[in-house]
Amino acid sequence: MTPAPEPKDASPITAALNRAVLDALPFADTQDFDDARRGFLATLPEVEIKNDQGRVVWTLRDYAFLADEHAPPTVNPSLWRLARLNLNHGLFQVTDRIYQIRGFDVSNMTLIEGERGLIVVDPLMSAEVARAGLELYTQHRGRRPIVAVIYSHSHTDHYGGVRGVIDERDVEAGRVEIWAPDRFMQEVVAETVLAGTAMVRRAQFQFGPTLPKGPRGQVDTGLGKATSRGTVTLIPPTRIVKEPIETHRIDGVEIVFQLTPETEAPAEMHMFHPGLRALNLAENATHNLHNIYPIRGAQARDANAWAKYLNQALDRFGRDADVAFAQHHWPVWGNARVRDFLGKQRDLYKYLHDQTARLMNHGYKAVEIAERLALPKSLASTWHVRGYYGTLSHNAKSVYQRYLGWYDANPASLNPLPPVERGRKYVEYMGGADAVTRRAREDLARGEYRFVAEAMSHVVFADPVNAEARQLGADALEQLGYAAESATWRNAYLLGALELRHGVPTTGARAPVSPDVVRAMSLDLFFDYLGVRLNGEKAEGRRLVVNWVFSDLDRGYVANLENSALTCLADRRSDVADATVTLERAALNRLVLREMTFADAVERGLVRVEGDAAKAAELFGLLDDFSLMFEVLEPKRESRAAPARPGS
């Protein structure tokens, strides 16, 4: 068997595109490098962190290639610059009493020294790296009891390491408070569970964890080097910020909380420290253009609200802030620079929103707007608004999506053929796979990578074993990745090339669900989750009614299956139920985590069934399991031989 080709070099056209970036942007401006190093106190001799089993969950060893100041032809020089900035790591002092751990995860952990202890803001993504960061702080600042943890928002890399810095028993005893913005728990659990498998798989393309690290592979994520691979945990908050502006004193430190819902996360907040003249902008103002819609998948965010909240922060806190920092990247110091930074970040999102909406109202479609939109000259040379994570292109489409949805109003787009059938028809119309591939080779040589990637995708969906089309498509994606300024686009393109060349890794792994998240699921969400897993085809013609009684919670639910839909009513009990299932919440958690089957739970006495036990078990037999490594660049295996649908 012929081995799959390894990554190739940049083509002369790609190399020229990257050289042009050097002339277009102010690379002589090194202020960010000074800021990223400012306040450095210490780091680990080798930044490699392992879990209790000895598995590496975080390492920076693989990024040694970034020591070279000059970008190779296979990396956009602007992205190379950011990747080098994000390699700064260790313990840093932000200002009096405020410190940060950077470079131990994709996010930062902020540590605020109070009167008697320590306030931790965002304990990274996994317990092992958070523990290592706290130990580093302790070595150089002394051991202080943690009196509070603050979650700035509802994304995993800002709460997942909490058990690495505190013990839940201290929370239960009231010795540690956990603060979070309104709707934090609902948003954490909803995003993680209902779309969890699809989101984890798609996140591989956004962050590139399965790519090799190097000049022809993953160099950064845009927000940091990578996501840690340790134990993701969660302890629910005990204090919720509900008002738009709330002022609290935590361990002697005055904090003004500003809620910013529907911005970078559905539940998010800024924090201003008046006594320290320091403004924490969470993840709403970092050193890049962020995502209105992340390519891993999420609900489209509100760019207009995003700009308004930054404007309010500038108006309310700007004149009194000597430093602005965030839970990614590095701070900005000096009042004039803080106000300039905030103003440009505000205008970035306002421009993106308003110009997309303007063109939308002129009748332009999302892809047309994305092609037209460019940064205004007054912002284009500003490093912290560049599209390293989000891009103007996919963010403009996201603004369009938020208002008008996926449909572009052209009836030809209303009911298109699915990818396999569409690919076959395109290839047929173009004169067959050989003709398409021959023409694509000519276009690739001319640098027309975008269309070659699209054309070869049609051929691959028409015939997934067409090796020539797969390799040519991979070549086009690879060159697109080498030229991309956005880390997320680079990772997506290069992982696409890798999977076209080598195929999807064969594993039956399911997307991991954190036990803490499962325990945090409401019962309503549990039944929603069952409904998502119900296989409608298998359930055709089935009729089931099951009472669920949670003996330790004094709660009951009626689950009703008919018309291939599973619905439920809370605090109800049906007199005509086929079965009544009685259990404790802990047993439910073990079922959701697949630590045991329903039959095992009954046999062990953890679940008691009255009525027709077979009917209760039948429901679980109708549920799908989701495999993590589904196909993205080629047809799903079960759809490859599917006949054309009627009317096609």
Rg value, the chain, Cα: 26
DSSP 8-state assignment for residue 245: E
Of 65-74, 382-391, 502-511, least confident by mean pLDDT is 502-511
Separation of CA 82 from chain center: 19
Tens digits of residue pLDDT in 93-118 = 999 999 999 999 999 999 999 999 99
The angle formed by the CA atoms of residues 483, 487 and 492, to the nearest 5 degrees, is 80
Three-state SS across 190-236?
HHHHCCHHHHHHHHHHHHCCCCCECCCCECCCCCCCCCCCCCCCCCC
> Which residues have a Cβ under 8 Å from the Cβ of 213 and sit 6 or more positions away?
62, 63, 65, 219
Mean of per-residue pLDDT scores for the chain? 93
Burial code (b: 16+ CB inside 10 Å, e: under 16) for 398-430 equals: bbbbbeeeeebeeeeeeeeeebbbebbebbeeb
Alpha-carbon distance of 33 to 255, in angstroms, equals 29
Alpha-carbon distance of 607 to 611, in angstroms, equals 13
Burial of 308 (0-12, 13-18, 19+ CB in 10 A): middle
Which pLDDT belongs to residue 529? Answer: 85
Tens digits of residue pLDDT in 145-188 = 999 999 999 999 999 999 999 999 999 999 999 999 999 999 98
- Helix, strand, or coil (residue 256): strand
Alpha-carbon distance of 515 to 521, in angstroms, equals 10
CA distances from residue 165 to 137, 159, 397, 566 in whole angstroms, order as listed? 12, 11, 40, 40
Q: How far apart are the first and last CA of the chain?
A: 38
Which pLDDT belongs to residue 516? Answer: 87
Which pLDDT belongs to residue 642? Answer: 47
Which pLDDT belongs to residue 513? Answer: 72
Which pLDDT belongs to residue 517? Answer: 84
Q: With contact defined as beta carbons under 8 Å apart, do 109 and 149 qualify?
A: no
Tens digits of residue pLDDT in 535-548 = 999 999 999 999 99
Whether residue 518 is predicted with pLDDT greater than 90 in this model: the reply is no
Could you tell me the sign of the dihedral formed by the alpha carbons of 445, 448, 454, 455, in that order?
negative
* Number of CB atoms found within 10 A of residue 599's CB: 12
Tens digits of residue pLDDT in 322-367 = 999 999 999 999 999 999 999 999 999 999 999 999 999 999 999 9
DSSP 8-state assignment for residue 153: B
Alpha-carbon distance of 603 to 624, in angstroms, equals 23
Alpha-carbon distance of 264 to 267, in angstroms, equals 8
How long, in residues, is the chain? 648
Region at 57 (left for phi over 0; alpha for psi -120 to 50; beta for the rest): alpha
Domains and CATH numbers, the chain: 31-385 (3.60.15.30), 419-507+632-639 (1.25.40.880), 515-621 (3.30.1050.10)
Which residue carries 């996926």 as its tokens?
406
Burial of 90 (0-12, 13-18, 19+ CB in 10 A): buried
The angle formed by the CA atoms of residues 356, 192 and 461, to the nearest 5 degrees, is 65
Q: Which helix (H) or strand (E) holds 254?
A: strand 253-259
Mean local confidence (pLDDT), 453-461: 95
Whether residue 471 is predicted with pLDDT greater than 90 in this model: the reply is yes
Residue 518: φ, ψ to 5°: -60, -45
633 vs 274: which has the higher pLDDT: 274
Grade residue 191 by pLDDT with cuts at 50, 70 and 90: confident
